[in-house]
Chain A
């Protein structure tokens, strides 16, 4: 395989995770030309509607499915060529954590821990206590939320450099959900590790994620930092007169009713200038707004 040339961006650390022009074809779905990166010490959010290709991206990263083109690197290593080294650095929490139903978390920890050089048994035990998990109960008897917590404890206990979480907050109660998000922030704060969260629950990522990659129908339609999103993307509301040729050119998507127009722009400063003095409101766009209105392209 051709070596991947390193990319170093201005003022930004070398990426811990990088996807470049990655493609994967299934009979009824294709992931096409996917590119994004995540520097060390940051949290990245992979968003998109169900069936957009988020889980396929995660599976490609873990080499659970073979890629048809492009490059993937984790700390400069290819997950196919350096499979073992890369997987030692990744902690994975599956959307529906499935382990051996008849085993306790304690026993699963003993089995899984043998595969990791940095496995910390004491840390695993303390994480089970912190997450209020019964170490000796059968995994099959745990609720979905508890399974997710258990999978997270397993992923954290080998001190992964890259935590990959697929729909992690589904099935979690609000208290632990918030605690989880805070824990993830603390995990990356030291600058050693990064977290990639794949989810369609965008509210989790609003405050948490430093980078957002939006995938739709197998393609990356947007990949930017949270600050870039706040600067460039905005929601505009106004009457039907708002929608003329000029404003339409600045909208990435909009929704029109008999009395109002709501649209999304990726060039908020230009739109503000254009609408200066007109009866329109330009406000911050949430990730959900971006997902919703980009699905309704002009």
Chain B
């Protein structure tokens, strides 16, 4: 059943996958300068994974096909699982394609081995997994509205933070948030060369994805179609 669901999504949305190739080519081209941030690949991969799975869920909503999908002989939990598998697979494929392009383009200063080192691959999975785990519950429960709402809420929070910072001249919260995120990512990337720590991160990622999946199953199970 899972295979049938993945076939359905690939059959129904091929342009989502092929249409992204030019974008990856552009990312690969943007990496041609010496010192360009290779971490951009991981960001793009995470974005692709979460965006692909969420967009497909939102398209089901747009075509009012959610009811049709739910009337097929598939448990809702398998429907949810297929979205997670698709999200992680799309993110991984995006990373592989972008990395290959970045390494193989004639002017690229990066070798494939430099891009595909264990730390970068692990980091890509952390970004892909986190993006999928955060975005999918909202997308599956509330459809397109959920995705837009989540981004809108993040934007409002950001604008609110910026407003507080600039109005009261108190820049600490802004620095604190972005500074923490930045230093956290850098520290994580640096420590991923430690095999024990990498295993711990992989386990934490698996737990987060599992918890997100269970939450999505619960939310989708309660959804009246």
Contact = CB atoms under 8 A, between A and B. Distances in A.
Interface of A: 59, 62-66, 83-85, 87-88, 90, 92, 94, 96-101, 103, 107, 110-112, 114-116
Given A100-B63, A111-B8, A65 B72 contact: no
A98 B7 contact: no
A134 to B, nearest CB: 19
B194 interface: no
Contact of A88 (B11, B64, B73, B225): B73
B12 A103 contact: yes
B1 interface: yes
B4 A99 contact: no
Contacts of B117: none
B67 A64 contact: yes
Contacts of B4: 114-115
Contacts, number: 65
Interface residues of B, number: 22
A100 B65 contact: yes
Interface of B: 1, 4, 7-8, 11-12, 63-65, 67-68, 70-76, 221-222, 224-225
**A contacts with B: majority SS:** loop
A65 B73 contact: no
A157 B74 CA distance: 18
Contact of B7 (A59, A84, A114): A114
Contacts of B224: 59, 64-66
B67 A84 contact: no
B11 A98 contact: no
B63 A87 contact: no
Contact of A107 (B1, B11, B70, B75): B11
Given A64-B225, A110-B11, A114-B4, A99 B68 contact: yes
Given A103-B12, A111-B8, A115-B1, A64 B73 contact: no
A87 B71 contact: yes
A116 B225 contact: no
